[in-house]
Amino acid sequence: MTHPRICILGGGFGGLYTALKLTQFPWSPLEKPEITLVDQRDRFVFAPFLYELLTGELETWEIAPPYTELLANTGVRFYQAEVASIDLDTKQVQLNQMPSLAYDYLVLAMGGETPLDLVPGVAEHAIPFRTIADAYRLEEKLRVLETSPANKIRVAIVGGGYSGVELACKLAERLGERGRIRIVEAADQILRNSPDFNRETANKALSDRKVWVDLETKVQSVTADSIGLEFRDQVDVIPVDVVLWTVGTQVAQVVQDLPLPHNQRGQVVVTPMLQIADHPEIFALGDLAECVDADGQRVPTTAQAAFQQAEMTGWNLWASISQKPLLPFRYQALGEMMTLGTDNATLAGLGLKLEGPVAHIARRLIYLYRMPTLDHQIKVGLNWIAQPIRQFLAS
């Protein structure tokens, strides 16, 4: 008896949550699939909480549980490996230094990568902020600077989107009076695709924390101790201790090399069913997919969208195997949240506008609910409840 083989490449919000969704369906004995999840790292990263590592608000185990822990007792097999190539004709995924995987259904969910080759010196000297390794690298750099005799610690954050703003607020609070934080943004405003309320709240938070914001400014070069900034055709070279690079997303080369329809950014073009038009056995979601949903709206490449797409990808895989009708994806914009320092956040959506400590608590609870398994939600939630008690007893 052969079972359908589902191979999921990428263990972020799209891939991991698709795998977990697949385990919830009432499979018949004949149809129950063999599910394999592949990711080059050993841990899932709940990216919206990555910033809290810098201020010690959260611990690594809370935001980055191992895949083996999350997938225990699910029947999903996990391989920590890098994808070398995909053969669509033979339906084989070749992994680096591991045997190839055969599939009947393939899910492309490998996310995006931060391009570091856009400006000279970025790859050598700047730090992206996507992974636990990035957070550890920044933490180590900050520790060295904090124990140095330097009077000021100068940080340049390239990109005035959510990631740049959240990083700036966290670092400004961590470094205090020693910090000299600067956001460099090419557009004429920060958070240009965000609700006005979030933008206004963020601007106030940055101002309160004395973060400089350089608008309509481009980066020309980065060295070990400087950054070249161009504003109105004039270039200034500014001394800096840390450069954080938060702009741009590129699709992994192995996906770009596939003989599938791509857009100009290298994303795979999918139908509203989240399938490839001429390859219905292949699903794609998240950062690497260009999706126009059933209502004609372009789906953003956000964690919120990938979370929703994973639900539909799981359903449509089950429907494909169980001979049920597939359903088109409809994206629901549920609002946007961001942290603006310790005990401070902003939230706009579904008719709500919150800021400050109330938004901070709401953001924490909403993200706790979205963590990947009930077991992990309970462990993290109990730790949060116990934290103030431990702090009280220690004081």
**Strand partners for 219:** 229
Q: Which amino acid is at 260?
A: L
First and final C-alpha spacing in the chain: 63
> Residue 1: what pLDDT?
53
For the 122-245 domain, the top CATH level (class) is alpha beta
H-helix or E-strand spanning residue 220: strand 217-222
Check: CB of residue 116 under 8 Å from CB of residue 128. Answer: yes
Beta strand 345-349 pairing with 268-270:
unpaired
Q: Which CATH number fits domain 5-40+81-113+250-322: 3.50.50.60, 3.90.400.10, 3.40.50.300, 1.10.1660.10?
A: 3.50.50.60
Beta strand 101-102 pairing with 92-95:
antiparallel
Residue 216 falls in which region: left (phi positive, over 0), alpha (psi -120 to 50) or beta: left
Check: CB of residue 8 under 8 Å from CB of residue 83. Answer: no
Q: Which residues, other chains included, contact 131 with Cβ-Cβ below 8 Å and sequence gap of 6+? A: 41, 45
- Local structure of 70: helix, strand or coil: helix
Asked if 5-40+81-113+250-322 and 122-245 have one fold, the answer is: yes
Q: Which amino acid is at 304?
A: Q
**Strand partners for 250:** 113
* Rounded Cα–Cα distance for residues 122 and 85 (Å): 28
What tens-digit pLDDT sequence spans the chain (395 residues)? 588 999 999 999 999 999 999 999 999 888 999 999 999 999 999 999 999 999 999 999 999 999 999 999 999 999 999 999 999 999 999 999 899 999 999 999 999 888 888 899 999 999 999 999 999 999 999 999 999 999 999 999 999 999 999 999 999 999 999 999 999 999 999 999 888 999 999 999 999 999 999 999 999 999 999 999 999 999 999 999 999 999 988 999 999 999 999 999 999 999 999 999 999 999 999 999 999 999 999 999 899 999 999 999 999 999 999 999 999 999 998 889 999 999 999 999 878 899 999 999 999 999 999 999 999 999 999 999 988 787 777 76
Check: CB of residue 100 under 8 Å from CB of residue 1. Answer: no
| Number of residues in the chain | 395
Domain ranges for the chain: 5-40+81-113+250-322, 122-245, 336-394
Q: What are all long-range contacts of 63-68, with beta carbons under 8 Å and residues at least 24 apart? A: 64/132, 65/372, 65/376, 66/42, 67/11, 67/16, 67/37, 67/39, 67/42, 67/43, 68/42
Query: Tokens 């608008």 sit at which residue?
Result: 215
The pair of structure tokens assigned to 89 is 């004709």
Nearest to 227 by CA among 329, 383, 120: 120
* Rounded Cα–Cα distance for residues 272 and 292 (Å): 6
**DSSP code string of 105-133:** EEEE----B----SSTTHHHH-EE-SSHH
> Residue 305: what pLDDT?
94
pTM: 0.93
> Residue 14: what pLDDT?
96
Beta strand 242-245 pairing with 127-128:
parallel
**Strand positions, DSSP E, 232-300:** 234-239, 242-245, 268-270, 275-276, 279-284, 289-291
